[in-house]
Amino acid sequence: MTTAPCSDLLHMDDATRLRIGGAWTLANYNRLQQQIDALQRPLAANQTVDVQALTALDTAGAALLVRLLGADRIQQLIAAEDQLPAARRALLHTVSNALAASVPSPQPARASSVMQLLAELGALVATFGRALLALLGFIGLILETLARTLLQPSRWRVTALVAQMQQTGLNAAPIVALLTFLVGAVVAFLGATVLSRFGASIYTVMLVAFSFLREFGVLLTAILLAGRTASAFTAQIGSMKANEEIDAIRTLGLNPIELLVLPRVLALLITLPLLTFIAMLAGIFGGALVCALSLDISPTLFLSILQDTPAKHFWVGMAKAPLFAVLIAAIGCLEGFKVSGSAASVGAHTTSSVVQSIFVVILVDAGAALFCMEMGW
């Protein structure tokens, strides 16, 4: 039969002695735990521990002893050779070290919500700064590659350039024209609704002309291509990166920037101004249609008023198109090169390229509007 554990608390001569005896094993674990819970803990400094009556000890019992006596008392028992045999002292030493190593470290004080908000804001600013530096470096790499290949006609990728022009320009023309036509009609409706209250419906023509020549024509086209073309560039180059085709291109001694990026950048650089011009015409035509149907402004009168619009508004809008084209193409290609090699990475970077392109286009357009306003253009 298993020896019952003994754990008595005796008071002798104003001193307290804790006597531990019996079998401290897994078979008596529940009974031992109940007796330990009944003891007054922690033990006082003047209490002594007597383990002479201890008959058996295993890992479970050693863990209970460490829990009962604490690390300091256990170290005293290990050091006292007359209290325990060497095997039990070694077991207590191992269990004590293992329990001390498994104690979870205290959790750091949780920062306040304000500090967390500032930390997240700082991380966002740092991420934006790194992305901006990467984009500027990539644009510099594109310009350097372009400068090296311009003087070597044998290295021009004319076939790839024409194919990209068809995909980014010709195929996008219908949707650009339709979108800007509808927006032009909406702007004309708004102008007719607001200006008619002041008897100035005739100025709806100027509103449509100014808005599409300066802002809406190039901005809507750039946003549309940011969602359509930048995502296509990222998906195409990202798929090649995932399939290790770009590594194969480098192995063949070819430059991926010259082979993949330059045709796309140049194609968008050519097609975006053309699409912007189409968007301006379509938007103005949509406004003219609304003016003819709702305001009784004939197309002849509309064109005569349109001729009084200063040409600088047209050139301000067209000047933004090449800048937007370079930014959209560079962001789309750069995100494609960032793909790590999985389908999930391709999707994530495709989404990122669209968001970044639209954000950069709107940001640059706002800056250009402020600059032109200060310059009086």
- Is the same domain home to 244 and 333? yes
For residue 73, give both structure tokens.
């008392």
Contact present, 98 and 69 (Cβ < 8 Å):
no
Residue 4: which pLDDT band, with cuts at 50, 70 and 90? very low
* CATH number reported for the structural domain that contains residue 28 in this entry: 3.30.750
**Both 140 and 39 in a single domain?**
no
Asked if pLDDT for residue 324 goes beyond 90, the answer is yes
In a domain, residue 239? The reply is yes
Mean pLDDT across 60-67? 76
pLDDT band at 362 (very low <50, low <70, confident <90, very high): very high
Of the candidates 360, 354, 352, which has an alpha carbon nearest to the alpha carbon of residue 323?
A: 360
User: How far lies 268's CA from each of 210, 222, 256, 261, 263, in Å?
Assistant: 25, 10, 18, 11, 9
Q: Is residue 220 part of a domain?
A: yes
Q: Quickly state the pLDDT bin for 5 (edges 50, 70, 90).
A: very low
User: Residue 1 domain-assigned?
Assistant: no
Global pTM value? 0.67
CB 62 within 8 A of CB 32: no
10 band by pLDDT with thresholds 50, 70 and 90? very low
**171 and 316 belong to one structural domain:** yes
pLDDT at 376: 77
Residues in Cβ contact with 77 at an 8 Å cutoff, skipping those fewer than 6 apart: 49, 51, 69, 83, 84, 89, 92
234 and 370 co-located in one domain: yes
Q: pLDDT at position 182, please? A: 93
The mean pLDDT of the chain is 82
Count of domains observed in the chain: 2
Which of 86, 102, 118 finishes a domain?
102
* Per-residue pLDDT, 9: 33
| Residue 211, burial from CB neighbour count under 10 angstroms (0-12, 13-18, 19+) | buried
**Domain residues for 64?**
6-102
- For residue 120, being part of any structural domain is answered with no
Higher-pLDDT residue of 253, 284: 284
In a domain, 121, yes or no: no
Residues 185 and 310 in one domain: yes
| pLDDT one-digit tens code per residue, 133-170 | 988 998 999 998 888 888 888 888 888 899 989 988 88
Check pLDDT > 80 for residue 49: no
* CA 282 from centre of chain: 37
Q: Within this chain, do residues 77 and 158 fall inside the same structural domain, yes or no?
A: no
In a domain, residue 109? The reply is: no
